[in-house]
């Protein structure tokens, strides 16, 4: 697994793997389904021009199969950031690695992940600020 910058050549894989109702159902309403080539182009134009880079492609076997990023908040939440990701089902084993990123971070560093990671069972939304992260064994 490699985390790297998104690039325009990722368009076909982005559309292929993002066009999944199970992913769309667990993300914000801004994540479309069906996920079209136009959606992919719009996403890539945003994340490839971001400086500094805050959103990375998750690459497995040479293909971009997901995305992970930090999303700084605004207004009264300006000192907070959300961290989120989506990952193609074919890479679900890799999701264990990504989950460990969430669970091993200092809990005070994050505001709250509003939307659950893709492969956690319900209920899977927790507030990391001020309360301990769930134990890994409690998630399965």
DSSP states along 17-56: HH--HHHHTTS-TTS-SS--HHHHHHHHHHHSS-SS--EE
Residue 121 has what DSSP assignment?
A: P
Position 124 scores a pLDDT of 39
Position 82 scores a pLDDT of 85
CA distance 79 to 77: 6
Confidence check: pLDDT of 137 > 50: no
Confidence check: pLDDT of 112 > 50: no
Give the range among 14-23, 49-58, 115-124 with minimum mean pLDDT.
Answer: 115-124
* Domains in the chain with CATH codes: 2-139 (3.40.630)
Peptide bond into 11 cis (omega under 30): no
CA distance 140 to 36: 33
Position 104 scores a pLDDT of 52
- As a dihedral over the C-alpha atoms of residue 75, residue 81, residue 125, residue 97, rounded to 10 degrees, the angle is 170
Global pTM?
Answer: 0.65
Position 27 scores a pLDDT of 87
Average pLDDT of the residues in 101-110: 48
């Amino acid at each position: 697994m490699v985390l790297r910058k998104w690039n325009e050549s990722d368009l076909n894989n982005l559309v292929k793997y993002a066009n999944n109702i199970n992913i769309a159902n667990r993300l914000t309403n801004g994540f479309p389904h069906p996920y079209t080539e136009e959606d992919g182009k719009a996403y890539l134009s945003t994340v490839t021009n971001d400086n500094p880079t805050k959103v990375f492609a998750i690459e497995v076997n040479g293909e971009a199969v997901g995305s992970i990023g930090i999303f700084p908040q605004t207004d009264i939440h300006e000192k907070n950031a959300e961290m989120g990701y989506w990952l193609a089902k074919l890479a679900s084993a890799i999701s264990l690695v990504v989950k460990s990123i969430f669970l091993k971070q200092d809990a005070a560093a994050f505001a709250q992940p509003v939307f659950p990671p893709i492969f956690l069972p319900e209920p899977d939304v927790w507030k990391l600020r001020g309360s301990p992260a769930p134990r890994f064994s409690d998630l399965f």
